[in-house]
């Protein structure tokens, strides 16, 4: 079995090495990193992570994304095993990432992994560490998202603390400049749902803001995606609040979704409430 996996990897690497065009060759190596990272999660075999790291070292076109794949895999393994120690390897790998976006994505994954492990273990030190790490996330959208995720974990057991974290997430988004509408809509929908869970009436205001932003999006794919997010949020909040008007509005909004894939998902969300 060990020889089989080694031979398979050698075959993939040889195939990549035969590609003459440097950028295409690099992309092939990056795809191999992704395959190895996924196999590491599936099997729990550290060998795949070791080989993924070696392969990432020969990626020349956007290597940061290869390292993000590895970090995402380590985060999943840490959560699955409830082992925060292996997340130290993920943090070390972030030093190889050379841009704010990929670094934000990577740290976001690590923060959430620490938070989930800390929550599952009821370990305040791990939870506190996850919160400290949020301060290292460069981009506001990902830092706010990390705080929302941690708030969501605590909403059922410690609503006061969850609301404090959510307030911080809201402040970050409110003060952010130049955030694209699609990201703002996603954030507002997340905030609306969390506020509803915490019995905070501001939930409705954030839904309205999301709807208003969606009206200005011209691209059909983007608009369909954000309208789906709004529909799912209205259904979730409407069910929680027993708000028939909000549920009816979700049906109306779903009619504005033009792309079939998103329309199907929206209809499924609406049907689940019945």
| Packed helices 244-254 and 203-214: angle between N→C axes, nearest 10 degrees | 10
- Of 22, 23, 30, the C-alpha closest to 12 is 30
Q: What is the pLDDT of residues 245-263, one digit of tens each?
A: 999 999 999 999 999 999 9
Q: Give the pLDDT band (50/70/90) at residue 178.
A: confident
Query: What local confidence, expressed as pLDDT, does residue 274 receive?
Result: 58
Does residue 132 lie in a domain region? no
CB contact at 8 A, 166 and 197: no
Does residue 259 lie in a domain region? yes
* Residue 49 pLDDT exceeds 70: yes
Does residue 64 lie in a domain region? no
Q: What is the pLDDT of residues 196-249, one digit of tens each?
A: 999 999 999 999 999 999 998 999 999 999 999 999 999 999 999 999 999 999
Residue span of the structural domain in which 197 resides: 180-274
DSSP label at 37?
Answer: H
pLDDT average, residue stretch 9-20: 92
Query: What local confidence, expressed as pLDDT, does residue 5 receive?
Result: 86
Spell 201-237 as b/e; 16+ CB within 10 A means b.
eebbebbebbbebbeebeeeebbbbbbbbbbbbbbbb
Average predicted confidence (pLDDT) for the chain: 95
* Residue 2 pLDDT exceeds 80: no
Q: What is the pLDDT of residues 71-92, one digit of tens each?
A: 999 999 999 999 999 999 999 9
Report DSSP letters for 64-116, one per residue: HHHHHHHHHHHHHHHHHHT-GGGHHHHHHHGGG--SHHHHHHHHHHHHHHHHH
pLDDT average, residue stretch 16-30: 93
Does residue 91 lie in a domain region? no
Count of domains for the chain = 1
Does residue 241 lie in a domain region? yes
CB atoms within 10 A of CB 88: 12
Does residue 247 lie in a domain region? yes
Does residue 249 lie in a domain region? yes
CB contact at 8 A, 206 and 234: no
Percentage of residues in the chain having pLDDT higher than 90: 93
Q: What is the pLDDT of residues 93-116, one digit of tens each?
A: 999 999 999 999 999 999 999 999
CB contact at 8 A, 40 and 48: yes
Query: What local confidence, expressed as pLDDT, does residue 273 receive?
Result: 62
Does residue 128 lie in a domain region? no
């Amino acid at each position: 079995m060990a020889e089989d996996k080694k031979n398979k990897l050698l075959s993939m690497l040889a195939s990549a090495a035969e590609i003459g065009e440097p950028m295409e060759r690099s992309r092939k190596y990056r795809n191999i990193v992704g395959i190895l990272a996924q196999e590491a999660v599936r099997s729990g075999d550290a060998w795949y992570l070791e080989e993924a790291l070696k392969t990432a070292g020969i990626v020349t076109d956007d290597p940061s994304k290869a390292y993000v794949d590895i970090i995402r895999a380590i985060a999943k393994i840490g959560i699955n095993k409830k082992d925060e120690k292996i997340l130290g390897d993920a943090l070390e790998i972030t030093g190889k990432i050379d841009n704010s976006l990929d670094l934000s994505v990577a740290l976001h994954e690590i923060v959430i992994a620490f938070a989930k492990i800390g929550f599952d273990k009821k370990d305040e030190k791990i939870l506190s560490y996850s919160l400290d790490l949020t301060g290292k996330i460069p981009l506001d959208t990902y830092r706010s998202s990390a705080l929302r995720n941690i708030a969501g974990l605590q909403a059922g057991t410690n609503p006061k603390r969850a609301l404090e974290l959510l307030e911080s997430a809201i402040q970050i988004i409110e003060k952010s400049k130049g955030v694209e509408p699609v990201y703002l809509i996603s954030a507002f929908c997340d905030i609306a749902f969390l506020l509803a869970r915490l019995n905070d009436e501001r939930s409705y205001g954030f839904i309205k803001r999301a709807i208003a932003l969606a009206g200005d999006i011209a691209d059909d794919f983007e608009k369909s995606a954000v309208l789906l997010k709004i529909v799912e949020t209205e259904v979730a909040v409407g069910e929680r609040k027993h708000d028939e008007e909000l549920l009816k509005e979700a049906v109306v909004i779903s009619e504005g979704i033009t792309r079939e894939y998103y329309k199907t998902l929206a209809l499924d969300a609406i049907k689940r409430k019945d």
